[in-house]
Structure 1
Amino acid sequence: MTFFPRRTVHLDFHTGPDVPDVGADFDPRAFARTFLDAHVDSVTVFAKCHHGMLYFDTDRPERHPGLVPGLDLLREQVDALHAVGIRAPVYLSVQVDEHAAREHPEWVAQTPEMTLVRRREGSHAQGDAYTAGWHVLDMSTGYQDHLAGQVTEVLEHLGQVDGLFLDMCWDQPSSTRAANEAALAAGLDPTTQQGRDAHARRVALRYMARFRDLAAPHLAPGVASGVWFNSRPKTNLHAEAQLLRHVEVESLPTGGWGYAYLPYVARFVRPLGLPTLSHTGRFHRSWGDNAGLKPQAALDYETRQILSYGLTNGVGDLLHPRGVPDAAVYERVGRSYAHVAACEEHLAGTAPLAQVALVVDPDLGDAPGASGIGAVRLLQQLRHQFDVVPPRAELSGYEVVVVPETTRVDGELAAALSAHAARGGGLLLVGEGLRGPDGAVSVPGAGLEVLGEAEHATTFLRSVHPAVPDLGLDAVVYERGLRVRPLPGTEVLVGTVAPYFDRDWRRSSGHSYTPPDSAAGVTDSPSVTRRGRVVAVAQPLLSSYGRFGLEAHRTVLAALLRELLPRPVVTATGPLHLEVVAHRGEDRTVVSLLSYLPTRVGAGLGGEGLDLVEDPFPLVDVDVVVRCPRPPSTAVLQPAGTPLEVRVEDGAAHVRVTVLDGHALLVLEHPPTPSTPTTPRGA
């Protein structure tokens, strides 16, 4: 059987050269025992850190000067972990190497102003020479060969590795002499940002292929992991997957990623079909917070959320320079991983279901902005099962396709959307997603014309069709939408009410936007129309929902999705924050129920604060309805093993569930018959 880690630890070890007694207290048996007792099956250990220091037996000058003489820390860690059946991939820093930057300043990336590029506070930033931070190396220079020599020595030193984790691998534009000459040789103009960016992408893809090939002969047999190039945008993986054997998603919610990041990225990565693990961290804040420990509930929530998305788990830690893992850390990691391990057997052989495809623009990177966040948050809150896909994805396996405001609809995507509608699939086109490359309507089957931007910056929604509930008042849309004209035969579901006038310096009314001119009725430019199974939303409701979370916008969008997808695979009562993810195998359907509520802590006046989970949120008598391919024979709440009563009605299983500790799996057994066909993605 091929091994892929399920419960990992990423053991950071960025240790400056001025730190003494490195590894002085390292005990191989105690080290390995710590991870074994915490249900860990893979630990990523360091060969080289951001300081450019090496932690193995080598004559290279980069060997950490404080490493205990005679101690081959890397090999002893690997051997100790292997002795207890734990895998040990190896970490090396790529574009951050302080030793190399100090010895070879000509290798450091430069801005066009010939300023050295430094990285501080988690971003690529130009920093002054007297502030602690990291220099960023230019892989167009001789540094790449220097790094290749280090990687080669690590591989030959260990013989075989369980994988390589190469960190800090983003596209780095640079104006060094080497970068300029290489860009010119490739026919690119380094005097423009576009030319520098294109060269940076070309360099990255080339060194990725180089290090993949360098490592290939040394990868341990029976291990699915290969070489992972960290810090690259996950939304570019559809183009880079051929360079990879597996995927890792770095996502520390309190470390700058936030709790909106993983729900977006995980759903983009998993349709690629590569084994994928996701790292959170044990830190209260982010990497390097060596004496900060997050609450147990936060670690529980994050590891259980990763599990629910069909990914395997990783927790980031930082090993003390003396080489002893912190017992308090692994008490918490062990508690979280014990629950994850108990759940894994029930999810084995299943895959997440997805009835809805959210089409996003990969050029946005892993931060999709308000529109992407609004779409993901909305679909989660409505319990829909969905994937996030690029414009060139195959759409035939999905029942409904959603195109948000920030997705550019070119001719190829417009054709794919039209083909989806022609075969009976549902389309929800929102805001700029309504416009094709020529500014006209992106899908002719939408049954309307796009006339340009709306006349007013602020407008109001009014339901005019039974499909959309009455909103109680003319509900505001804070951002400018599009002006559209429905064609004959197109239904208007939500009308647009105009304000008395737009607020400006010449005239205004009240503190904010001007009130709606309700007595005038709706304008001739509606907000929502429907033609067959194509629903067009002329207002930027997903973007607005991502920014403001207005209930009326959720009410409208929920009604539209209900029209397009009247038989969702799962529905559930319970609080809005409840995360419901359905998985399907040949003999069972498994529904993950996750109930935690992040709260803002530490925010003073003017401060941004931190989102943190302190406690699980109990679920009591929540009704869950699941559509299964066959009537289930049993319903059990796992991992507690609690049997539940199940009622089958209209082809769906109805179960009432109580979960007090934040997470459980509802396992519905429906053994297949010999003639049972393969289940499609969203069935």
Structure 2
Amino acid sequence: MRQVLEEAPMVKLPARQIHLDFHTSELIPDVGSRFDKRQWQEALRLGHVNWINVFAKCHHGWSYYPTRVGNMHPTLKRDLLGEQIAACHEIGVRAPIYYTVGWSANDALTHPEWTVRDRQGKPVARNVDFSARPEDKRPGGSWQFLCPSGGYRELMLAQTRELCERYEVDGFWYDICTISGPCFCPNCLAGMAAEGLDAARDEDAQRYFILNWQRFMAACNEIIHASHPQATVFYNGTTSIYGPDYMPWMTQAELEDLPTTWGGYDKFPLRSRFFFTKGKPMIAMSGKFHTSWGEFGGFKHPDALRFEAAAMIAYGVACNFGDQLHPLGEMDLATYRNIGEAYKYVEQIEDYGPGGEPCANLGLWITGSNSDDQGTANMLMESQLDFAVALPGQDLSRFETVVLGGGRCLDETSAAQLRDYVAGGGSLLVLGESALDPARERFLLDVGAGYVGPAQYELDYLV
């Protein structure tokens, strides 16, 4: 099976960014009718913003410009995307284009053959009850997943090409990528067979799932960079510490954490240290709101925004705060006054953070167990001990000590690497089951003891 690889170019990223959400139902009248260039520019100046993601197509499946390929929002009467891009460029603000991939309600409704299917051929969805009656209340965040293959793939590539031809493109931001799990639609079943893969084997289905996404990414990148070689490209849903590596197809890693919603404030430091090892610029994404996307009425205090932005810069990462554009297209100036309090400070320090290299001499070995890795990272942070991530195959000589956080993570090759590291003068702190072989039968490292078996009790204490 051939891996598809087209390395995305390296770019320098502005540090004061906004992700402007705009998922707008067809039931809302007069979409974009109050957009005003001057009011838009006033908001961006108030916020000290130099980058804002603007919408070409949303989760409802509607486009916000006069598309000949997709479907323009039925109550939109203007080229909202084009006016937003022009207004940004007039004041020196970059405006990458947002495009949904995995969720597109109108496309799922009109082309059910484009949806992701499970092994039984049923649609794969989030919070969707296919037996619900029309009058039943629909839960929030209800979407069917779509597969980047066949006719849907061709639609997305054609619309990407159309956008590249219509506008001065700064970048693309593709959303809801790689998160549905393997697909068993007719296109994917045929693709697996063509690759000599057995769809009945989970490992083969996962291999094809990754390959299918890589091919989609490579095709998008080829279209984009043919006419806009310096454009940024990001596929959201791909920046998992434990998932497949999609970084070669992206110009940057974006870490969407929303600390007041999921993960808390401890999640971002470990992720930033991990993705530093990928060698690409990074962006951290929080929100101007307290809960999650779609919360129009929430306002974090400027001090909270300033703290979050300062932490991003301190970890060598550009800043991004999520906002919601009103369906009529009018910016909320109070939001940008708040964000401006944070970004005024970022302007003073942004030259000292993004692109910087961690200098910690303590390494945290990623074990593959989130509870162990995150728990160990939390203990180090609570002890005011800075750390960098250590990985198999990496040069470990910069570290005085490497911590193995508890999860079983070693094979013969990585164990030999750690033994060589110790022989060269390094030290190890081994927690939990980190020194055990995958079969949990013996130690792969010399810990000064032999392995007898698992503990009899859930909690053990050493005094």
Q: Normalization by structure 1: what TM-score?
A: 0.62
The equivalent residue for 1:196 is 205
Partner AA of 1:48 in structure 2: K
Partner AA of 1:307 in structure 2: I
| 1:350 to partner: Cα distance | 4.6
CA distance in 2, matches of 1:305, 1:13: 27
Select the residue among 176, 190, 194 that pairs with 1:168.
Answer: 176
> Do structure 1's residue 420 and structure 2's residue 427 form an aligned pair?
no
| 1:407 to partner: Cα distance | 4.2
Select the residue among 101, 104, 113 that pairs with 2:111.
Answer: 104
Select the residue among 161, 176, 184 that pairs with 1:152.
Answer: 161
CA distance in 2, matches of 1:407, 1:312: 33
> Do structure 1's residue 396 and structure 2's residue 405 form an aligned pair?
no
Asked if 1 retains the 8 angstrom alpha-carbon contact of 2:241 and 2:271, the reply is yes
Asked if 1 retains the 8 angstrom alpha-carbon contact of 2:363 and 2:401, the reply is yes
Q: 1:431 to 1:419 in 2, by over 3 A?
A: same
What is the SS of the residue equivalent to 1:461? Answer: coil
Asked if 1 retains the 8 angstrom alpha-carbon contact of 2:17 and 2:50, the reply is yes
Asked if 2 retains the 8 angstrom alpha-carbon contact of 1:234 and 1:269, the reply is no
Deviations 1:370-390 (A, max 9, x none): x12211111112222212243
| 1:343 to partner: Cα distance | 2.2
CA distance in 2, matches of 1:349, 1:89: 20
Select the residue among 280, 287, 310 that pairs with 2:286.
Answer: 280
Instruction: Looking at secondary structure, tell me which structure has more strand per residue.
Output: 1
CA distance in 2, matches of 1:231, 1:248: 9
CA distance in 2, matches of 1:430, 1:272: 26
Partner AA of 1:281 in structure 2: G
Select the residue among 436, 440, 462 that pairs with 2:442.
Answer: 440
CA distance in 2, matches of 1:103, 1:57: 20
The equivalent residue for 2:383 is 382
Asked if 1 retains the 8 angstrom alpha-carbon contact of 2:408 and 2:435, the reply is no
Partner AA of 1:161 in structure 2: V
Asked if 1 retains the 8 angstrom alpha-carbon contact of 2:408 and 2:437, the reply is no
> Do structure 1's residue 82 and structure 2's residue 89 form an aligned pair?
yes
Asked if 1 retains the 8 angstrom alpha-carbon contact of 2:70 and 2:155, the reply is no
Q: 1:401 to 1:191 in 2, by over 3 A?
A: same
Asked if 1 retains the 8 angstrom alpha-carbon contact of 2:367 and 2:408, the reply is yes
Partner AA of 1:112 in structure 2: R
Asked if 1 retains the 8 angstrom alpha-carbon contact of 2:238 and 2:246, the reply is no
Asked if 1 retains the 8 angstrom alpha-carbon contact of 2:365 and 2:404, the reply is yes
Q: 1:350 to 1:154 in 2, by over 3 A?
A: closer
Q: 1:389 to 1:14 in 2, by over 3 A?
A: farther
| 1:35 to partner: Cα distance | 0.7
The equivalent residue for 2:31 is 22
Partner AA of 1:167 in structure 2: D
Deviations 1:491-517 (A, max 9, x none): xxxxxxxxxxxxxxxxxxxxxxxxxxx
> Do structure 1's residue 231 and structure 2's residue 237 form an aligned pair?
yes
What is the SS of the residue equivalent to 1:358? Answer: strand
Asked if 2 retains the 8 angstrom alpha-carbon contact of 1:411 and 1:437, the reply is no
| 1:260 to partner: Cα distance | 2.5
| 1:56 to partner: Cα distance | 1.2
Identity %: 32
What's the RMSD between the two structures over aligned residues? 2.2
When Rg is computed on C-alpha atoms for both structures, the one with the higher figure is: 1
Aligned length: 446
Q: 1:13 to 1:389 in 2, by over 3 A?
A: farther
Partner AA of 2:61 in structure 1: G
CA distance in 2, matches of 1:265, 1:458: 28
| 1:262 to partner: Cα distance | 0.7
Partner AA of 1:442 in structure 2: L
CA distance in 1, matches of 2:336, 2:155: 36
Select the residue among 292, 303, 307 that pairs with 2:298.
Answer: 292
What is the SS of the residue equivalent to 2:67? Answer: coil
CA distance in 1, matches of 2:171, 2:289: 25
CA distance in 1, matches of 2:258, 2:327: 22
Partner AA of 1:406 in structure 2: G
Partner AA of 1:435 in structure 2: L
CA distance in 2, matches of 1:424, 1:311: 32
Equivalent residue runs for 1:3-14 within 5 Å: 3-14=12-23
